Structure 1
């Protein structure tokens, strides 16, 4: 409850616009019931949550905490919770796409992944490009992962993917605008 109270204070008094959760750092699965009061408070406060999804490179914890299928249970219990899964689920990209297809409030953040990898055969990201230009065009959100990749370089790599202009506009701006309610 201390975390819930601090979240509410941060939003109401400090102007926080969203919550970022790196569940692997706390050794808690995304669907751990200890997280549910925070998810409920995010819905109540109408703020989005970014959840680390996919591999982590910590030697102190396992990768299992970031498996995307754990989001399915959370979003089944909290259908109004706006979630951005970032980074985009590697090595479980297909799983993340399935959960996003099922839950309309789940967005996928292109964060900490070089966009050019989406077009590289056997990178594990090919299906993200396929679904991101078709069924999930309205749920891909750009993020550079700075300082690992500069925003300019990331945008150039997105430009090189050959996406239609309307899809690029969604990925680079409109989806984030809608997700953040700007």
Structure 2
């Protein structure tokens, strides 16, 4: 079975900006919470890919937070097409017209797979109408919008910026837009599950989450009603790729091909890699 990690940072200076050598206060808190100190050093792109593959991950999704860096993400994907899929950044808070132009270039010229968007970074709620032109563009072009929808350790912005309930309104207004709620709305109860269950176009990614952090009801949703909507990932270096081994026992065999690769592939618009596995029939 092939595995795709929906959120990773290769261990090179560009993707480790703000992490090494001196992390910001909030990043330092993440490092402490996730015991990520062993992963806070540079290697190379080739070594990053080798580490990923040795621990069972075939491909990773890379991203950036600034439009000026979209070309670097695209160059990484072009140089390592078998290892990475890229997401683009756009900042409507810095000008709507420019944000649209940045995304068009990222999609049309550089072939990036979708939008990486964090209200915690922009300081603008996900439902702000200034964001709507970029959602409309993603919908029109069949690109996914990956929206930060969980808690964040930046004390300068309110937690409401990550409320997954905001995505409900976006999904209502853009029914053809593929949306992924990052970190599965953790910290906000089961709202994210309700939103994903309500809308055909909404997915959940479980990046930076260990299964032991999830209530039993969440694991039932992953293996049941939302089995075609849930996506695995580490948010490396928050979690090591070995977190894959923690998830495998709690995901049912007939769900695993989708959870660990195919659901992400459908959201990203890339080829699915795993054949379906029939559900085991109960004896008797």
TM-score (norm: length of structure 1): 0.91
Matches of 1:77 and 1:101 in 2, distance apart? 16
Aligned to 1:178: 266
Displacement of 1:159 in angstroms is: 1.4
Matches of 2:115 and 2:267 in 1, distance apart? 13
Aligned to 2:184: 88
Dislocated runs of 4+, deviation >4 Å: none
Larger RCO (CA under 8 A, 6+ residues apart): 2
| 8 Å contact from structure 2 (residues 208, 235) kept in 1 | yes
Unaligned runs of 5+ in 1: 119-124
Q: Of the candidates 238, 247, 262, which is equivalent to residue 158 of structure 1?
A: 247
| 8 Å contact from structure 2 (residues 184, 193) kept in 1 | no
The total of aligned residue pairs comes to 174
| 8 Å contact from structure 1 (residues 55, 63) kept in 2 | yes
TM-score (norm: length of structure 2): 0.59
Paired residue secondary structure (1:58): coil
Q: Of the candidates 130, 133, 149, which is equivalent to residue 239 of structure 2?
A: 149
Decide which structure has greater helix share.
Answer: 1
| 8 Å contact from structure 1 (residues 116, 160) kept in 2 | no
Unaligned runs of 5+ in 2: 1-96, 271-284
| 8 Å contact from structure 1 (residues 19, 50) kept in 2 | yes
Aligned to 1:121: none
- The structure having more radius of gyration, on CA atoms, is 2
- Correspondence 1:124-139 to 2 at 5 A: 125-139=215-229
